């Protein structure tokens, strides 16, 4: 069921040229909230960026963002418990995983082109470096 949901969401994001970016922002005190603009506009840091169809109401966009976040947390949990390896997944799962990483890097690049504080630019640079390392370890092409 999870693979089917991921495939459908992947199709929605890739097939929809009118995508909006939804930001999961982290306040300096540690709270998280979804925002339709860059987090710096709300004096917060970017925790995650998710592409969502721009023709959906904000609540539905947030639901998609929450699903994306839950999926990412599951991958991290599985990886930390040594139950998840990219090599044991099917080729399609690996391809989707690699595409997801590449899309996150593109989102970070887009965010880094905007006027940001040096602290935010460093944060984005570190996130991009982590994603590039993940790409390398996962043999993404």
Res 13 pLDDT > 50: no
> Residue written as tokens 């495939």?
7
* pLDDT score recorded for residue 128: 92
CA–CA distance, 41 with 19 (Å, rounded to integer): 20
CA distance 90 to 63: 27
Total structural domains in the chain? 1
pLDDT tens string 89-130 = 567 778 888 888 899 899 888 888 888 888 888 888 999 999
Instruction: Kindly tell me if the per-residue pLDDT of 35 is higher than 90.
Output: yes
Q: Are 140 and 101 in contact (CB under 8 A)?
A: yes
- Whole-angstrom distance, CA of residue 13 vs CA of residue 120: 26
Domain range enclosing 8 = 2-137
Per-residue confidence (pLDDT) for residue 54, from 0 to 100: 87
Q: What is the pLDDT of residues 64-83, one digit of tens each?
A: 989 988 888 887 777 666 55
pLDDT the model gives residue 33: 93
**pLDDT tens by residue, 40-67:** 888 999 888 998 888 989 999 899 989 9
């Amino acid at each position: 069921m999870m693979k089917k949901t991921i495939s459908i969401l992947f199709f929605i994001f890739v097939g929809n040229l009118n995508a909006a970016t939804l930001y999961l922002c982290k306040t300096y005190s540690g709270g998280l909230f979804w925002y339709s603009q860059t987090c710096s506009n709300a004096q917060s840091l970017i925790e995650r960026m998710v592409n969502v169809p721009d023709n959906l109401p904000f609540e539905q966009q947030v639901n998609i963002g929450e699903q994306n976040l839950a999926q990412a947390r599951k991958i991290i949990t599985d990886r930390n418990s040594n139950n998840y390896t990219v090599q044991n997944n099917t080729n399609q799962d690996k391809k989707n995983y690699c595409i997801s990483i590449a899309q996150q890097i593109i989102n970070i690049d887009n965010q880094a082109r905007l006027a940001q504080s040096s602290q935010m630019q460093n944060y984005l640079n570190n996130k991009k470096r982590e994603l590039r390392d993940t790409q390398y370890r996962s043999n993404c092409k």
